[in-house]
Amino acid sequence: MSIHLLHGKITNLRKAREGASFFFTDSDRTTMGVIAVAAAAVGLGSQAIAVASATTSVEEEADYLEFELDGQFVQGWVWRSPFREGDEVEVVVERDGRVATTSRSYASF
């Protein structure tokens, strides 16, 4: 993937406030679940509960955005989006096939 700077006017903006885990990957959560089960199996109930709860307590709320910028589809997460349809913006993105995803949630307007 390569990083690019896009600029232009936001069109076809779709925004949703959702919960997502930005810290642990799906693989991390699976591994931690296995560790929790193993800890419980050997009688370490407190540690099993702590590990199991850590896998679910790291979700944060953020805005998931989808929009077009100069004919290019862009999607990604930002902590809180001030953007509206028609805003002129600059967005740092990583290209993933035909999709550009926001990189490090940087945008200026």
One domain for residues 70 and 98? yes
Residue 91: its pLDDT value, please?
86
User: Would you call 42 helix, strand, or coil by DSSP?
Assistant: coil
d(CA 65, CA 55): 25
Q: What is the pLDDT of residue 35?
A: 84
Q: Based on the domain organization, do 80 and 67 belong to the same domain? A: yes
Q: Same domain for 65 and 109?
A: yes
| Parent domain of 52 | 24-57
Q: Which residues of the chain have pLDDT under 70?
A: 1, 21-24, 55-58, 96-109
pLDDT at 108: 44
> Quick one: 87 and 100 in the same domain?
yes
Same-domain check for residues 3 and 53:
no
66 and 31 within one domain: no
Statement to judge: residues 42 and 78 lie in one domain:
no
Q: What is the CATH number of the domain that holds 105?
A: 2.40.50.1010
Q: What is the pLDDT of residue 98?
A: 53
Question: How many folded domains does the chain comprise?
Answer: 2
Cα distances from 42 to residues 32, 53, 76, in angstroms, run 15, 18, 42
Q: Are residues 53 and 70 in the same domain?
A: no
Judgement on whether residues 96 and 52 belong to the same structural domain of the protein: no
Whether 3 and 34 map to the same domain: the answer is: no
∠ Cα 71 72 78 (to 5°): 125
Same domain? For 94 and 50 the reply is no
